[in-house]
Structure 1
Amino acid sequence: MGRRRRAAKGGRLAANPDHLALRDLVLDLADERPDMTVVLYEELPYLWHGSADAAVARICAARGMEATGWSEQIDTDLKFTHLRHYTSQMPVMDTAGRLLAARHLPTRERYWLLTPSSSPTPS
């Protein structure tokens, strides 16, 4: 059975491997480009399945970075309108039916700004 189906049976959502590959590629580029700003974000539907704090902490520890987090108020009606363009993905993204109405959407999304760590990395 696939990783995504196993996660769904447990009421979770497995991370999309394409999203993880893109994230890691951007982080690799940032290692080579100190002028590059990296911002990670946690949005639907993943934020319903647990916080990204541990994943962000792992990334920072592995790459000698620090994360500054914040959240932003979002327009749930606009978000709902955008989500309607992903109808083929809805069954995978939302097994509980929370994406069927704007009123079910969270009102905030979380972000982390990654910067080089000010403390020395272990050698």
Structure 2
Amino acid sequence: MVFFFRIFPYMFSLGFILVFGIIFVTIIRGIGQWNKNNHSPILTVEAKVVTKRMAVSDHIHHYGEGGMQQHYTSSSTYYVTFQVESGDRMEFVVPSREYGMLVEGDMGRLTFQGSRYKSFQRI
């Protein structure tokens, strides 16, 4: 038991450093991707809508006296996979209003910048 109390401060510090290290790396990667997208050319290519999917994230918020009340919220992220003439596939996050308008099999002109979706115009 004494061993645990001697090692606990080191374990706690290591966990603290690990958590903030992961947060730091995630922030740096996000900034790097944002910068790469900003320096990428805006391209428009012929493409076909291959698949669509969405990811729903549920959130529970506790509030009130003693945290006894809960409020549930959810958010959705919409993804569309496009196949270009070369056969390559690219998946983009798209706005909900466009997600609902796209149908698998649609052909058109896909405009994107790096990993950032810009638009899709049916032809």
Question: What is the TM-score with the length of structure 2 in the denominator?
Answer: 0.25
**The structure with more helix, counted as a fraction of residues:** 1
**The structure with more strand, counted as a fraction of residues:** 2
Query: Whose relative contact order is higher, 1 or 2, with alpha carbons under 8 Å and at least 6 apart?
Result: 1
Q: Which has the larger radius of gyration?
A: 2
